[in-house]
């Protein structure tokens, strides 16, 4: 694990997430290789998802699935993917974008869709796994994410899976 620099509360702040009566601050900290996702919680900065969840087990409450999904997505992907908070709004916007593709851009979009978006929904639990949806910020390409819940270890493989192509 890399050393985490001391940060001002708002330095390199990417977003924040209200959680119960507290606030989680999502930071993208510049490193030599890339920006490293870190979350500030109760005046401590975490760059390790299992450690954050160990120190704050209530983040894995079943009534907080959207917050858990956003935490997992940010710690795994930084700013590359956005959590789909409002599935219906996302699907409407995605369809609007797909209907306005310029003819000269069409070949590029066939490599990136169109995708079936009917399955996109709020986070849901199946057995001991959480399923939620994200999209790539620049292309709006949607992905399904499935992760263990409520505990995640460093050994867990958490895939970002493209949704099926529309026929």
pLDDT value at residue 130: 98
CA–CA dist 66, 121 (Å, integer): 11
Contact yes or no for 75/64 (Cβ under 8 A): no
pLDDT tens sequence across 8-43: 555 667 788 988 888 999 988 888 778 889 999 988
pLDDT, one tens digit per residue, over 139-151 is 889 999 999 999 9
Cβ proximity of 7 and 29 under 8 Å: yes
Count CB atoms within 10 A of the CB of residue 120: 22
| d(C-alpha 149, C-alpha 154), whole Å | 13
What pLDDT, in 10s, does the model give residues 35-92?
A: 889 999 988 999 999 999 998 888 989 999 999 999 999 999 998 999 999 999 999 9
């Amino acid at each position: 694990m890399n050393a985490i620099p001391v940060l001002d509360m708002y330095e390199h702040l990417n977003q924040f997430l209200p959680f119960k009566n507290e606030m989680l601050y999502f930071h993208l900290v510049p490193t030599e290789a890339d920006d490293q996702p870190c979350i500030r919680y109760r005046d401590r900065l975490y760059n390790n998802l299992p450690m954050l969840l160990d120190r704050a087990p209530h983040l894995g409450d079943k009534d907080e699935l959207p917050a858990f999904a956003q935490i997992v997505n940010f710690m795994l992907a930084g700013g590359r993917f956005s959590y789909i908070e409002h599935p219906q709004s996302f699907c409407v916007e995605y369809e609007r974008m797909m209907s306005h593709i310029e003819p000269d851009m069409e070949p590029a979009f066939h490599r990136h869709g169109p995708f079936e978006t009917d399955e996109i929904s709020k986070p849901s639990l199946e057995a001991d796994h959480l399923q939620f949806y994200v999209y790539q910020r620049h292309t709006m390409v949607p992905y399904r994410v499935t992760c263990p819940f409520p505990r995640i270890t460093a050994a867990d493989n958490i895939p970002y899976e493209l949704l099926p192509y529309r026929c």
